[in-house]
Structure 1
Amino acid sequence: MSDPSLAGADEAPDCIPSPRAQTVVGVGVLLVAAGMAFGALQISSEAGYGGVGPNFLPWLCAVVLAVCGAWLVWEARTGGFREASDPGGQPRADIGPFVWVSTGLLVNAALIGTVGFIVSCTVCYVLAVQGLRRAGRQPLAGTPATWAKDVATGLLISAPVFWAFTQFLAINLPGLTETGWL
């Protein structure tokens, strides 16, 4: 008797996109690489510390993205992603968690100049984690204890990062006060 877990192992799952859609993704990655390369052209190439200019990292990212995009297009045009497995997850997007995470990012961008790095990043963390908890269908996602734990964790992550950048690396990040500690 054959193993039922191996049934259909040679067949591609129904949810894997067509080679045409896969090609579109690869071309999209190539366009992002071209956009990054165009942006890198706008950055000065004067060599800084260690002989590397400020445009080195954008160029590196553009080249790596271009290689990945070309590889994706090649894979798609030569038969598609043959080794792709079922991605799992929900058959449809869950909009609620997406809204939580997106709101966290947007609130962070909106507040960072007024309430400072620590508070805005903590809010971003709390909202993003709440979205991820809801995506994972965690039963205690909205309880006060979970919110308190998320706030404490967000503060324990964002405050040392802020202090490391402002006090040790002398990189200015927006703070709540002029002291450099909050």
Structure 2
Amino acid sequence: MRAVIKVRQQTALALGVLLIALGLASGAWVIPSEAGYAGVGPDFLPWVVSVALLLCGGFLLWEARTGGFRDLEVDEDEPAPYWLGFVWMSAGLLVNGALITTIGFIFSCTLCFVLASRGVRMSQGQPAGGARSWLLDAVVGLLISAPVYWMFTKFLAISLPGLTQSGWL
């Protein structure tokens, strides 16, 4: 019975990787392909990642369906994954992707940092903290994302979504 559950879990993992690969490929499909600097277009890297994930997902599915992941060391005493931390970090990434064109790069990346920091802090057994912790994470997130935005937009002339038309937010 336990082996059947493991095969199902491994198959679900492989199918998840394949779904992510297909999702990335569908996003890469709509990116314009005209060649830019160095002869590659903006769709090149998303296609590389999509194909790599598709290959990995296919290999994982083959492994799961032909006897399970081989040479997988299973330690029964190992603690279970901390899913709440995973949820906080995933929420940060999803909120960033959903809001980047609405509130701009700086604030969406700051929000991503705040949520991911909370997830990491909780997964390490540290207290999640109160308002001071949220504020400190927001300040650190701003101190990271604002210079990155300015470097890309002002020095590299790469367009990122901003909050205003001035190019500084």
In structure 1, the residue matched to 2:80 is: 90
Alignment of 1:28-47 (within 5 A): 28-34=16-22, 36-37=24-25, 40=28, 45-47=33-35
Quote the Cα distance in structure 2 between the aligned partners of 1:168 and 1:133: 34
In structure 1, the residue matched to 2:157 is: 170
- 1:130 corresponds, among 118, 133, 151, to 118
In structure 2, the residue matched to 1:121 is: 109
How far residue 98 of structure 1 moved from its aligned partner, in angstroms, is 5.0
How far residue 149 of structure 1 moved from its aligned partner, in angstroms, is 2.7
Which protein shows a greater Rg? Answer: 1
Q: Please report the TM-score for the alignment, with normalisation by the length of structure 2.
A: 0.71
How far residue 47 of structure 1 moved from its aligned partner, in angstroms, is 3.9
Alpha-carbon spacing, 1:68–1:48, altered in 2? closer, same or farther (3 Å): same
> Would the aligned equivalents of 1:15 and 1:86 in 2 still touch at CA under 8 Å?
no
Write the deviation string for residues 78-130 of structure 1: whole angstroms up to 9, x where unpaired.
32113223474436743xx4554455445545554454322332222112212
- 2:134 corresponds, among 140, 147, 167, to 147
Structure 2 residue 48 is matched with structure 1 residue 60: yes
Structure 2 unaligned regions, length at least 5 = none
Alpha-carbon spacing, 1:135–1:33, altered in 2? closer, same or farther (3 Å): closer
Quote the Cα distance in structure 2 between the aligned partners of 1:164 and 1:122: 16
Letter in 1 for 2:39: G
Alpha-carbon spacing, 1:19–1:133, altered in 2? closer, same or farther (3 Å): same
How far residue 160 of structure 1 moved from its aligned partner, in angstroms, is 0.9
> Would the aligned equivalents of 2:91 and 2:115 in 1 still touch at CA under 8 Å?
yes
> Would the aligned equivalents of 2:82 and 2:123 in 1 still touch at CA under 8 Å?
no
* Aligned residue-pair number: 166
How far residue 154 of structure 1 moved from its aligned partner, in angstroms, is 0.7
Q: Please report the TM-score for the alignment, with normalisation by the length of structure 1.
A: 0.67
Write the deviation string for residues 1-31 of structure 1: whole angstroms up to 9, x where unpaired.
xxxxxxxxxxxxx699522442343344345
Identity score, percent? 57
